[in-house]
Amino acid sequence: MRQHHNTLYVTSQGTWLGKADEAVEVRFKDKTKTKVPMHHLASIVAFGQVSISPYLMAACAEQGIAINYLNEQGRFLARVIGPCHGNVMLRRDQYRWADDPAACARLAQGFLLGKILNTRDLAKRRARMGDDPARKERLLGLAEALERHCDLVQAETELEVIRGHEGRAAKLWFDHYPDLLAGDPFFQWGGRSTRPPRDGVNAILSFIYMLVAHDCDSALQSVGLDPQVGFLHVAKPGRPALALDLMEEFRPLWGDRIALRLINRRMLKKGDFEVQGSGAVLLNEAGRKKVIQAYQQEKRKETRHGFLGEQTTVGLLPHLQARLLARVIRGDVSAYPPLLGVIGC
């Protein structure tokens, strides 16, 4: 079993990272805040104005620790990585699959069945919470509708039609979002909005989805796949299409679940956000730290992978799914098995 290595997220503006023996030294305002052994790390994610010494960059490249630079809101800027050690034969097979519409449709089915079934299960769980019978009826109706969309996806062979079914399922889910929220006046839902998010709920969702995409990208690279060449999402310059494919089944498992927990348990408040002149609503530094802390706590939980039957940590699930995807592309597994089952509540 692969060891679960951590991601070091650095959000405080003006932080400096350097190499101290075999550890990453984190300094802020000329004081050492912590040292993290490099063998514990899989990647470093730096938000905004974070300085990293060239000695640390070189050591990370040598040890396979990716360094990702994002702006303060989480938009990707650049990455520093070492030499690619992926299997060239696996990537050649991946590119052949990506050029085969029927193969793309089969893989897209797996990704989207995982997403829709996990969304259905989350709707059922939320229906059991609270004592409003009308709300419960609406959420159970949503779960039944999502089940029907799963049947449609499973029966279809054309990629564009499969995408259409998923789009309608996603619209159903987001149309029911008010029934998932506890009623905090600040967290009012006006529909899904991105680039920029227009309310606090969308700000949280977009930020967590970014974290999930990063983990899926890293998982794909670790098994030798090219994150830029996907099967469900269209390849575009600079777009990690395969990472977006893989993260679909993790959106309800990690993104929506963690966001709803943070909101409904009042772990985030109005002061954790900033409203810009353009109308964009974004997490501020304090808010980002709270979300990252919740995300890291989730990844440390123990769980069992249903298809593999392995006991593992939640944080390793993207790697296990990437490994299964590689086995499908090699021909060792006949069909991609989506990750199913809501972890926790």
Kindly write down the DSSP assignment for every residue of 85-125, as one continuous string. ---HHHHHHHHHHHT-HHHHHHHHHHHHHHHHHHHHHHHHH
Helix (H/G/I), strand (E/B), else coil: 147: helix
Please report the DSSP string for 20-78 in residue order.
ETTEEEEEETTEEEEEEEGGGEEEEEEESS-EE-HHHHHHHHHHT-EEEEE-TT--EEE
Return d(Cα 133, Cα 201) in angstroms, integer: 24
Residues 6+ apart with CB under 8 A from 77: 69, 70, 71
Q: Residue 160 to residues 115, 194, 310: CA-CA distances in angstroms?
A: 17, 23, 35
**CB neighbours of residue 274 within 10 Å:** 15
309 near 228, Cβ under 8 Å?
Answer: no
Does residue 248 have a known ligand-binding role?
yes
Nearest residue to 4 (alpha-carbon basis) of 337, 304, 288, 301: 301
Binding site, by residue number, is 166, 233, 248
Annotated binding site for Mn(2+): 166, 233, 248
